[in-house]
Amino acid sequence: MTDFPIPFEDDDLFASAGLRLTVDLTALTENWRDMARRSGAARASAVVKADAYGMGIEDAGEALYMAGARDFFVATVDEGVTLRLYAPEARIFVLSGIWPGTERRFFENDLVPVISSDEQLAFWMAVLADYGDYPCALHVDTGFNRLGLGMNDAIALADDVSRPASFAPVLVMSHLACGDDPAHTMNKRQLESFRRVSAAYEGIDASLAASAGIFLGEDYHFDLTRPGIALYGGEAVNDLANPMRPVATAEARIIQVRTVQAGETVGYGRALQLRRESRLAIASAGYADGYMRSQSSGGVPLRQAVPQGGQGFIAGQKVPIAGRITMDLTIFDITDLPENAVRAGDYVELFGKNVPVDDVARAAGTIGYEILTSMGLRHERRYVAEE
């Protein structure tokens, strides 16, 4: 016990957090407006699955709703129930569809199931027989071979005069397999296939383009687009300068700064041997927080293919990761920064305005989607917006 008084004050959780995430809601809504403009005559929805790509479905969903989004896509019924509280008049589509035991939650929260398989379709027909008219969406596979009704089955269903009158889809949709590669021939093949499907469902909204598909041009836009990663500042198209505003900034506190002599090694497996006397900053983030081990500077298989590991940003400069990232800690080499430029308690940017999330992803051998959606529960979040 101490023999001196400790003044207790209301905690500023963000200021004192070991890990913190700043979400720029103005950038988020501006990105949505940008994608809405690029969608031309089509309406732009907002994809907020995976807790709005890690940003927080409550705050992100409400901001997008206030910006004008009226169509939303979530992955699960739980996400839809949460979003309904923040988007009261929106049309909310549940991509995983409806399953026995979830009917009440769909109806009570006015959620629209996306029907993606013969089994779901049969169950949905049985539900309609008991409950009467209720909207749904149909997901049709045009070559992705992931989810979706077969094309021939979907087209036959459109012309099936024996189908129940209460079966009334409000949307028919598909998904591009290679939209992030504008030159890929698969895009045009899927476009032609989807045109056949949408023609069979004349008068019903059609949707093919997610973020990457929007950049492919108006032929791919149909009635409704589905921007996702672009809303959150991520790259949607390969080898194209990213026009989106960064939304998330992740930071970790520096716990310790230490000087290590030339010739000594750093971290697990002695993965890095220092060639000079070095100053190292140990930050409170690791792979348990989604800061992936694969972007370590050494001691991981990926470095054999991509020599450079990840970087952070502190004191106005990018600094390299030193050695292996561990569960809760990452070491950064700050030797090239001025003496005393970094102190214990300072914060290093893991990704954000100075270290694009997709650069972090490339160093980790993955994509920005995975970095954003893999952040653990230890990030204290702050939401900022321009007045």
C-alpha 142 chain-centroid distance: 24
Q: Fill in the DSSP letter of residue 132.
A: -
CB environment 8-23: b (16+ within 10 A), e (fewer): eeeeeeeeebbbbbbb
- The verdict on whether residue 292 carries a ligand-binding annotation is no
Write b or e for each residue in 239-264: b if 16 or more Cβ atoms lie within 10 A of its Cβ, otherwise e: eeebebbbbbbbbbbbeebeebeeee
Residue pair 330/300 in contact (Cβ under 8 Å)? The answer is no
Task: State the Cα–Cα distance between residues 237 and 50, nearest whole angstrom.
Answer: 21
Question: Which among 113, 117, 70, 121 has a CA at the least distance from the CA of 95?
Answer: 113
Q: Which residues are catalytic?
A: 49, 268
Alpha carbons 124 and 147: distance in angstroms, whole number = 16
19, 29, 20, 21: which is closest to 232 by C-alpha?
A: 29
Alpha-carbon distances of 87 from 70, 80, 116, 203, rounded to whole Å: 8, 10, 25, 26
Contact 309, 320 (CB under 8 A): yes
Q: Is 327 annotated as a binding residue?
A: yes
* β strands within 80-160, DSSP E: 91-94, 111-115, 134-139
Q: Please enumerate, by residue number, every residue annotated as part of a binding site.
A: 146, 327
Q: Please enumerate, by residue number, every residue annotated as part of a binding site for substrate.
A: 146, 327
